[in-house]
Amino acid sequence: MPKVTEQYREAKRDQITDAALRCFAAKGFGASMADIIAESGLSAGAIYGNFANKAEVMNAVARKVMGSRIQEMQTLGSRERIPSPGEVLTRILTGLNEEVADTGLLLQVWGESVTDPGIRDIVDVVFGELRESYVRLFADWAVQERGLERADAHAWGKNLAAVAVGLGQGYIAQSAMFSDFDRAAYLATARGLLPH
């Protein structure tokens, strides 16, 4: 039997994660492993050979969605000119909106995290990484553009990251709940509220 390469294994995991994302968007977190198996077109053995249970699949989905945003922030931080906090927030939310057409899924994750400790753990880790990425990027910008010392820039970035996360949550909640929500106007206003 031929040896399975890591690249092949990652492709299968991506296929499963994409199927799970579609299931969760359509059915919420009530989507079962049977739903994910059917949506993926793979066998149950292929699914369970990659993920032990639905919690692991949910973790992979969260990491896929937010991991892209975290990677984007790392790329922005490696530029010669670091974008302003307002620019960063706009880019992150625009990218998130492009990747997750139904932002209601993220709203469901937050709602479920209130009562489900397993989902809360996922949210703590994944969104904690996102928050820390904001802190680093904002602190680097403050050093570069405002001439702050590193310790002061870190404290400033940490406080501002909490506000940026809150603005992001407001964007996600309103875009999921209100059919007349003006995403472009919200992003323009949020960008103007943050330092630039």
Confidence of residue 2 (pLDDT cuts 50, 70, 90): low
Are the CB atoms for 102 and 176 separated by under 8 Å?
yes
| pLDDT tens, position by position, 60-78 | 887 787 777 888 888 887 8
- Full domain range(s) for residue 23: 1-52
Residue 112 exposed, middle or buried by CB count within 10 Å (0-12, 13-18, 19+):
middle
Residues 6+ apart with CB under 8 A from 22: 39
CB 17 within 8 A of CB 40: no
Total number of domains in the chain: 2
Kindly report, residue by residue over 83-122, the tens digit of the pLDDT: 999 999 998 998 887 776 677 778 887 888 888 888 888 8
The reply to whether 100 and 122 lie within a common domain is yes
Same domain, 47 and 13: yes
